[in-house]
Amino acid sequence: MNTHYDGNVNGWVFEHASGIPYFHENNLQDVAKICDYSKCPPQQVTGHSHLEGCHCFHYLSISLGSIVQITIYNMGFGGGFAYGFAHPMHIHGNHFYVMKMGFPVYNNTNLYLTHNPDIACNESDNCNEKTWTNPNWLYGHIPGMNTRNPSLRDTITVPMGGYVVIRFRATNPGWWYAHCHLQNHDMAGMAFVLKIGNHSQMSAPPPTFPKDCGIFEAPPLNFQKSEQFFGNGINI
């Protein structure tokens, strides 16, 4: 999963559902815009000029009890020196082990020089859905993994020009939000959801809990009304 730039994951710009997914198992399309690869070719997404079809409720379905391994990398034109960011990625509802971190190549004064070469990415590309440079690393055969005493976390910083490999067992069923913990990146769409287990495996709300909080569509921003309260700037 690529986190270059500051408003998408693999080119998908996350849009929140207007209703609680748990209560819309059979009609999710009524409260969320389902992602469609035909409307968002990953290699055509460049920078912030996102295709409209890339704005959607991006989620991954995971079988309950399965072992999940995800490589999150930060490469491409939006993940390089002077215009890239390190992204603190946070996953709700789960803790994961940090199996490996790959840092960029630094020069002799410890400044960023170029991307980590482990992932086949040309810095001038968007680099979405790339794979390992060495095909022998596919299907989990990644050398240098810490299988003895990995750090257990719920947040990990993905270095600019580098990557992290995380692993966890999906034991907590539900819809779990994952996002960059830089608030402006989260709001811009750098997020996705993990759907762990099927509907019948997810814990049901208490009997007294409202069946649904309804469908909410946020009204458009009213800049004219905002200026009435806050003015149009700060004078120093």
* CATH number of domain containing 90: 2.60.40.420
**Domain extent at residue 47:** 13-199
Domain count, the chain: 1
Q: Domain for residue 212, yes or no?
A: no
Q: Domain for residue 230, yes or no?
A: no
Q: Domain for residue 61, yes or no?
A: yes
Q: Domain for residue 113, yes or no?
A: yes
Against a cut of 0.85, is the pTM above it? yes
Q: Which amino acid is at 212?
A: D
Q: Domain for residue 37, yes or no?
A: yes
Tell me how far the alpha carbon of residue 112 is from its chain's centroid. Answer: 24
Q: Pick from 167, 179, 170: which is nearest to 198 by CA?
A: 170
**pLDDT in single tens digits along all 236 residues of the chain:** 898 888 889 889 999 999 989 989 999 999 999 999 888 887 666 555 567 888 999 999 999 999 999 999 999 877 776 678 899 999 999 999 999 999 999 989 888 888 999 999 887 678 888 999 999 999 889 999 999 999 999 999 999 999 999 999 999 999 999 999 999 999 999 999 999 999 999 998 888 877 767 777 777 766 565 555 555 554 44
Q: Domain for residue 7, yes or no?
A: no
